[in-house]
Amino acid sequence: MYVDYKDVELLKQQTNRHSKIVGRRKSGCHAISQHALTESIKRARFMALLPYKGD
């Protein structure tokens, strides 16, 4: 599965209000999908599209 790191709206749905990545059990993703999602969130944070720390 490929998740684009530029799709900020999708990535925001997979983080909680503290900007932590939601776990597999809560998101309902398979392991491979969760790894791709996590990698995309980390890339988006590095590119300053998502914050490292929430409010």
Question: What pTM was computed for the model?
Answer: 0.89
pLDDT at 2: 83
Residue ranges covered by each domain of the chain: 8-46
pLDDT at 5: 94
Q: Which two tokens stand for residue 31?
A: 């392991």
Cβ-proximal residues to 47 (8 Å cutoff; 6+ apart), any chain: 5
Residue identified by tokens 């890339």 is 43
**Can you spell out the DSSP letters for 32-54?**
HHHHHHHHHHHHHHHTTSS-SS-
Q: What is the mean pLDDT of each run of 10 residues along the chain (55 residues)?
A: 90 94 92 95 96 86
